[in-house]
Every structure is written in C-alpha cells, then in structure tokens.
C-alpha cells in the first residue's frame, strides 16, 4: 500500500488537470478587477437572492424588493458611504485628510450645486474664489500640525471639484475615471502620499429633461471633446467612441438626428458615468452582448449611487439640501430654491410623440436609474427626519442669508 499510494495521487491529480483542460474556460469573458493589493479592507458581496449588498455595515438603503441583477464589485480605496456616516457615526473632517469629491454629470445642475459648496457652505475656512478665473482655493483650516511647509499645507484641499482643483482627472470625469485618478492626483499636488477618506457626491436629473438640455447645449456648439474617456488605464479609441458629426461641432443639429446617432454619448449618460465601466469591457461594446452590458452597467450604477455619501435630485432642491446638511452636519448660508424648468420644458412642448418615444427608448437605463435615485432620496430623507429631533425647525429654516440661488438658467448655460 505504501508504494501504490503516490501512484494513485498522481493519477487523480493528472485526471483533474486533464478534465480542466477539456472544459471551455477560454470561451468565458474575463471581467478585469483591480489587483488584490489595491482592494479596500471591506469587500462587497452580493447575495444572488436579494438586491442588498453586505459590508461591515449595510450599504444600500433602498427597497430590498427592487429588481437588481446580482453583481459583485469592489468599492474604491478610501470610499466613505452614506450608511457609514449615518450608522457608524463617521463625520466629515475638514481639518483632517477627508476630501469631498464631486462627480459632475453634464446638465444636472452640477455647476449650481458646486457654487453652493464653494460660496455658501458654513465652514471654518471657506473657499476663496476668483470670479473671472472661475477658480477657488479651498485649503483646510489651520491644524495643530505645523510641521509641513506652507506650500504643502495650502495645496491640501478638502474639496475635489472643477472650481477647486479643475478638471485634473479629465473634463466631466466619470466614476471609473475619478476613482482611478483622484488619490494619485492629490498625492502629486501635495507632494507626498496621504491616507485619505473620500466622500463622493453627485446630482441626478430627470433623464428626459437632462437629455433635451444636453441636446440644446450641443445645438449651440458644445462638444466636450476634451473628455478623456479613460478606463483600465487607457483612452477609449476613436473606433470605440464613434462619431456623430463631421467638422468642429454638431451645432444646429435637429432632435431627430441627435436621437438617431447610435454613438451619441448623451444616451443614458447618467448610468454610464456612475457605473464601473471596467466591469463591462470599458468602451468595447463587443466585450459582451448589449443586453448583458446594459444589465451590468445599470446594476453597477445603482450600487455606486447607493454607496455615495450624498445624492441630490435637481427636481428636489429643498429635500436635497436637507439631506446634505444632516448627513455632513454642515449648513448652507442660503436655501436651494426650486425654479421652473422653462428651457427643457419648451423643448419638450415642441417634441412630437414619436420623437419623445425615441428619446425615452434611448434613455431607458437612465429612466430606471432615476426611479432608483428618487427612492434612494426619499428613503434617506425619511431616515434622517426620524433621527433629527429638530427636524421641523431645521427643514423650515434652511439657509438664513441672502446669496446665490439655484436657477434653471444656470443649468442651460453651464459647461
């Protein structure tokens, strides 16, 4: 028996490798993930029977019965979620190494929201802005640690946005670009690696109105050609992005032509910009079937949206302001006012039923994502309201000083 045992083991092991060789592993697509060394301490695990994720604390705060395909993905390094802030008592520390990262999606009111952050936030050391330069400096308040040089301390900003840092991760950088870029860019600006916590925030808008607003902006000559579209360390190729027009811009385009170009990045822009594109082959649409790509992209966008420290809705300014203030334990000097969206409404009024149907079909993923965001917003509002012993007083007195007020005109004119 002592002689035959190794032979049996060799036969069994050899048989296993032979069977593995016969299996068609080469036909299975490989989903690229970050290297194990880059994984955060907590890994996201999704139960295939439910749409909730489990971490060291519950991550999603939405209806658990909501339809969402099972998805496994890893949260970016240093990400602080809304759930961690509310349930684990994590607070945003301006004097420490915390950074507020604004993911700015075109035509959602992101510029207006960012103006509130740099102009109206009541904070120990407010941002200093130069109007003509459209740039602000948002250094941290003085701390007890004075060992670092003044230049290094002044380069350490608590805000990552177009007004404070500029588009250093690319023009309108999306989730995929920001999560791969922010940490290294801040280290480069600071001059040395720093262990930071990141609080991601964004604004979401009704997809039909957002799409029509982008259409009007493109009609006026906007292109966003400077956007990088970087994923997995490389730029998307011209063949992957495609092109909808020749010449310098798509100015004076008709709505029909705008909707009929299959390469139009305005389609489902919010879903694409909030998803982890590395999971679906980046901009390579042949990586998987269109149905599988859409399903995974939407699931990823929902999970990332739910993990963000703050999500606001353009159509719900007051509730959005209250949620931000209660989550971050900060206050704004003025209220976010809600004005009528006259611009996209006028475009919508001129749209034919067939054009509107085409717009809705082209933005089907965004429509589902928006419904998810609405539920997310109201769930968070109701939760914070219950936790707030001074809710009525706080909610009825949002903002006390005169200053900048939200306007739909600004959305039409923003970049």
Any idea which residues carry the catalytic annotation?
A: 172
Listed in sequence order, the residues at least 6 apart from 138 whose beta carbon sits closer than 8 Å to its beta carbon are 118, 127, 128, 157, 158, 159, 164
DSSP string, 166-204: -STT-TT--HHHHHHHHHHHHHHHHTS----EEEEEEEE
Query: For residue 409, which of 318, 346, 333 has the smallest C-alpha distance?
Result: 346
Opening angle at CA 344, ends 340 and 350, nearest 5: 120
Residues 186, 297: contact at Cβ < 8 Å? no
- The greatest distance separating any two alpha carbons of the chain, rounded to the nearest whole angstrom, comes to 91
* Residue 250, burial from CB neighbour count under 10 angstroms (0-12, 13-18, 19+): buried
Interatomic CA distance for residues 242 and 244, integer angstroms: 7
**Of all helices (H) and strands (E), which one includes residue 327?**
helix 317-328
Q: Return the H-helix or E-strand segment holding 137.
A: strand 135-137
Structure token pair of residue 331: 């206050």
What strands lie across the sheet with 98-103, from one edge to the other? 159-160, 98-103, 197-204, 310-313
Contact (Cβ atoms closer than 8 angstroms) between residue 397 and residue 82: no
What are the C-alpha distances in Å from 76 to residues 92, 105, 199?
A: 18, 19, 11
338 contacts: CB under 8 Å, gap ≥ 6: 315, 316, 317, 318, 406
In this structure, what token pair is assigned to residue 363? 């933005």
SS (H, E, C) 40-64: CCCCCEECCCCCCEECCCECCCCCC
Q: Answer for the pair 105, 273: CB distance below 8 angstroms, yes or no.
A: yes
Contact in structure between 168 and 190 (CB atoms under 8 Å): no
Q: Pairing mode, if any, of strands 98-103 and 128-130?
A: unpaired
Alpha helices in 363-403 (DSSP H): 364-387, 391-396
């Amino acid at each position: 028996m002592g002689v035959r045992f190794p032979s049996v083991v060799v036969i069994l092991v050899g048989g296993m490798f032979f069977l593995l060789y016969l299996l068609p592993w080469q036909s299975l697509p490989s989903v690229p993930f970050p290297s194990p060394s880059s994984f955060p301490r907590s890994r996201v695990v999704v139960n295939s029977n439910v749409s909730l994720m489990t971490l060291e604390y519950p991550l999603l705060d939405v209806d658990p019965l909501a339809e969402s395909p099972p998805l496994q993905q890893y949260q970016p390094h240093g990400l602080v979620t809304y759930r961690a802030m509310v349930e684990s008592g994590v607070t945003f520390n301006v004097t420490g190494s915390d950074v507020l990262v604004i993911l700015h999606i075109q035509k959602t009111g992101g510029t207006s929201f960012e103006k509130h952050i740099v102009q109206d936030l009541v904070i120990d050391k407010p941002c200093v802005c130069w109007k003509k330069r459209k740039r602000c400096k948002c250094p941290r308040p003085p701390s007890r640690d004075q060992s670092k040089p003044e230049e290094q301390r002044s380069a350490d900003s608590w805000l990552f946005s177009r007004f404070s840092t500029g588009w250093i991760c690319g023009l309108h950088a999306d989730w995929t670009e920001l999560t791969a870029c922010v940490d290294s860019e801040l280290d480069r600006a600071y001059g040395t690696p720093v262990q930071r916590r990141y609080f991601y925030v964004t604004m979401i808008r009704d997809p039909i109105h957002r799409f029509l607003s982008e259409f009007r902006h493109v009609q006026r000559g906007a292109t966003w050609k400077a956007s990088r579209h970087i994923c997995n360390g490389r730029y998307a190729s011209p063949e992957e992005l495609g092109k909808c027009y020749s010449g310098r811009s798509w100015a004076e385009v008709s709505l029909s032509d705008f909707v009929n170009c299959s390469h139009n990045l305005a389609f489902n822009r919010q879903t694409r910009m909030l998803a982890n594109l590395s999971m679906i082959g980046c901009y390579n649409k042949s990586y998987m079937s269109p149905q599988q790509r859409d399903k995974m992209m939407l699931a990823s966008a929902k999970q990332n949206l739910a993990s963000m420290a703050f999500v606001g809705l353009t159509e719900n300014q007051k509730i959005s302001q209250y949620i931000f203030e209660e989550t971050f334990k900060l206050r704004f000097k003025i209220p976010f006012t809600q004005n009528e969206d006259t611009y996209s409404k006028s475009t919508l009024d001129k749209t034919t039923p067939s054009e509107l149907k085409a717009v809705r079909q082209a933005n089907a993923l965004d429509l589902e994502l928006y419904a998810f965001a609405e539920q997310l917003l109201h769930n968070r509002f109701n939760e914070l309201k219950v936790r707030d012993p001074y809710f009525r007083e706080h909610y009825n007195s949002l903002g006390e000083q005169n200053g900048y007020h939200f306007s739909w005109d600004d959305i039409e004119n923003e970049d």
